Amino acid sequence: MADIDLSTLTIAQAHEHLIKGDFSVKELAQKYLDVISEKNGDINAYLEVYSDVMEQAEIAQKKIDSKDAGVLTGIPFGIKDNILIKGRIASASSKILENYTATYDSTAIVKLKKAGAIFLGRTNMDEFAMGGSTENSAFGVTKNPHDLERVPGGSSGGSAAAVAMNGALVTIGSDTGGSVRQPASFCGVVGLKPTYGSVSRHGLIAMGSSLDVIGPMGKSVADVETVFDAIKGEDIMDATSVSDEKYSNAEKTDRKIIGVPRHILDQEGIDDVVKKNLEDVITKYEQLGYEVKDIELPHIEYALAVYYIIMPAEASSNLSRFDGVKYGLHVEGNDLLEDYIKTRGEGFGTEVRRRILLGTYVLSAGYYDAYYNKANTVRTLIAQDFDKAFTDVDLILMPTTPTPAFKIGEKSDPLSMYFADIFTAPANLAGAPAISIPSGFADVDGNRLPLGIQLVAPKYREDLLFSAGKKFEQG
């Protein structure tokens, strides 16, 4: 058997080895299971490792042996706990869905199954994807593999940590305001938030329906691109999904111009090491032949406020279905209303209850126009700012996060936690694709903590992200 170095292995390399017979699918899967067995007790990236991994491996091996294998056949994945796989628990890391077993496959999973992927297990997350640290999981905090005293980011913290600890070749997460890109940055991996609608949300447990998108995480831009190509596409089960025609009709350009909205760095709370890293990245892109110029995004300063009105409003509506009647936790009360109150009171964690209350408030009579409608108006202005900027530049460059990974328990104040979304939420509001790429390290308390840089592209132009991302990796 060929030696398998999980720290540098890519999808393309694994595929080539599997086709050549250098190692089997079972041997590859076992290597990841061994790492999970060794490290997951400390890191808590996985909530559950599936018992049938070897059976899945056998099926994938038969595809390979019969020359019926695609590039993802036999590739081991970790799947975020809010993406449905038929017959398996999908709890969204919440007590209210602790024992909920999915009755169907999400569309993304259908596509990965068809491609022959192997599912190692379900990864930890902030409850119902609400948080930026994976401290809000009902089943324990996930720790950052680079420093076990620090958070891995969130809400897809388990997915990012799984890749960073070599516990999966690639993982799937979801991104509503930065939940793929922020943990990717904190854990030193690549994370993609695709164009809104490019990946079907069918079978994704909803938080903010106009913001949510499923996205891949991996060690390289090429790996993330491969997974994106496999899961994207129009879906009859998701009316917001977009056709491949949108991609083929997207305006192409030969320019190599990157815009930097430096004005958004002029606020408190952004670490100097993050600002210095941005300047280093700009220098590198200039050396790679890109023109870099300053741009203005006039309404981006309101993005965080807009996001924290629209997202809780949509979340409060989406989470009203968890009432203890149809599925999930049921706590008996003296009457139906008390059933609801007790079930939701015991089933939902603090952050989820906070956002339901916020969302219900902004949707209530008398406040709907003042908050929700106003926020949607400003959201349109933010999206227009991006559209206007993209007439002059091909990509927009900014940090992924305002700081490196923070310590577990350090941000007990919700507002300081929400600030972590300052650079990532705007792309969700605009529906634009964005990618976080590892861009260096910060020396903090004797530890080297990863930093990430974010590129944003026009809608349906993920190809620009992949091209610029690969050049950055290779440069």
Catalytic residues: 80, 155, 179
Q: Are 336 and 290 in contact (CB under 8 A)?
A: no
Task: Detail the DSSP E strand segments found in 271-346.
Answer: 291-294
Report d(CA 43, CA 328) in Å as an integer. 27
Structure tokens at 180: 């793929």
For residue 350, the tally of other CB atoms under 10 A from its CB is 11
CA 58 centroid distance within chain: 29
What value, to the nearest 5°, has the Cα angle with vertex 357 and ends 406 and 209? 75
Angle subtended by helix axes 25-43 and 11-20, to nearest 10:
140
Please tell me the distance from the alpha carbon of residue 172 to that of residue 161, in angstroms, as a whole number: 12
Distance of alpha carbon 187 from alpha carbon 153, whole angstroms? 8
The candidate with the shortest Cα–Cα distance to 87, out of 52, 47, 138, is: 52
Distance, CA of 384 to CA of 264 (rounded, Å): 17
The helix/strand/coil state of 286 is helix
How far apart are alpha carbons 127 and 37 in whole angstroms? 24
DSSP 3-state percent helix, strand, coil across the chain (nearest 5): 45, 15, 40
